[in-house]
Amino acid sequence: MQREFSMTQTNAQAQIELHKTLAPRYALRYSYPFSRLFQEDWHAEMISHVPEGTRHILDLGCGTGFFLAELEARHPGSVGLDISHEMLKVSDQYVPGVRLVTGDAEKLPFLPGAFDVVFCKGSLHHTRDHVGFLTHCKKALGSNGCLIMSEPCNDNPLISLARKILYNKSPHFDIGDQGFTKRGIIELTERAGFEVTLARRYGVFAYVFAGFPDHVGILRHIPGNAALTRLFIGLDRLICKIPGLSLMGFHIVIVARPR
Ligand SMILES: C[S@@+](CC[C@H](N)C(=O)[O-])C[C@H]1O[C@@H](n2cnc3c(N)ncnc32)[C@H](O)[C@@H]1O
């Protein structure tokens, strides 16, 4: 249904429709202990870049709130924003009392400089005006602020092809969503007025086998899947450190400071 509408709807409407159906899938995705292990490692990778003294945090495209819960535990008063009210309903149950805002990341409703850190885990690629999105992030950050993102990386032609097929064929993606090359996402971030201080690929085997048990369910049936996930996480970290091999990374973590 999403695919029929996407030619006539705005992207914002299409994303709202799409994520209505995805909210229960996300809850399932994060419910397996082995998949939580992987997600927690991913979150730890992103959180490791939070500067000392950070107080005010925004999770842009917070979805069902599993990352937000970790941010709120470390930095009480964190804010989650998402375009999908259905996703936020899960967040509300999962992180009771956390500050949630239904809104469009391309039109952020916050005062300039309201946040020290803006996180964006997998939401930029759902938008169409990437520079606009990032410019809003910059406005929401103080001059000493920090943007920490993780987005799908398409530097590897095989990954790029697989993603293209998935985004075109699967009802769980929007046809206009797209991954980024490392160079491409750095350029977009710089065009929005940031200086990129880190761009590091993340996630290979653990990403594929533990990250999305709602799509790739094989680990669900394998005894010792938590140990296997830990092994994959370690292997992925090694792979992503080795030039050339790091092209196997499915995501790219970006850290950027307003110029
Ligand atoms: C891939 S999900 C990631 C959710 C969450 N960050 C996580 O890691 O589980 C992308 C999220 O971005 C949200 N999103 C898409 N377009 C958006 C927009 N323009 N403004 C705010 N949120 C948006 C979707 O509703 C969805 O919850």
| Nearest CA-CA partner of 117 in 51, 66, 65 | 51
First to last CA, the chain: 42
Question: How far apart are alpha carbons 159 and 115 in whole angstroms?
Answer: 34
pTM for the whole thing?
0.94
Q: Is 67 touching ligand 1 by the criterion CB < 6 Å? A: yes
Question: pLDDT for 170-221, tens place per residue?
Answer: 888 888 888 999 999 999 999 999 999 999 999 999 999 999 998 888 999 9
Q: Is 62 touching ligand 1 by the criterion CB < 6 Å? A: yes
Domains and CATH numbers, the chain: 2-173+181-258 (3.40.50.150)
Question: Mapping DSSP to helix (H, G, I), strand (E, B) and coil, where does residue 13 land?
Answer: helix
Supply the pLDDT for residue 3. 39
Question: How far apart are alpha carbons 96 and 89 in whole angstroms?
Answer: 10
Question: pLDDT for 219-258, tens place per residue?
Answer: 999 999 999 999 999 999 999 999 999 999 999 999 999 9
- Specify whether the CB–CB gap between 147 and 141 falls below 8 A: yes
- Specify whether the CB–CB gap between 146 and 172 falls below 8 A: no
Q: Is 82 touching ligand 1 by the criterion CB < 6 Å? A: yes
- Specify whether the CB–CB gap between 60 and 120 falls below 8 A: yes
| Nearest CA-CA partner of 140 in 178, 190, 193 | 193
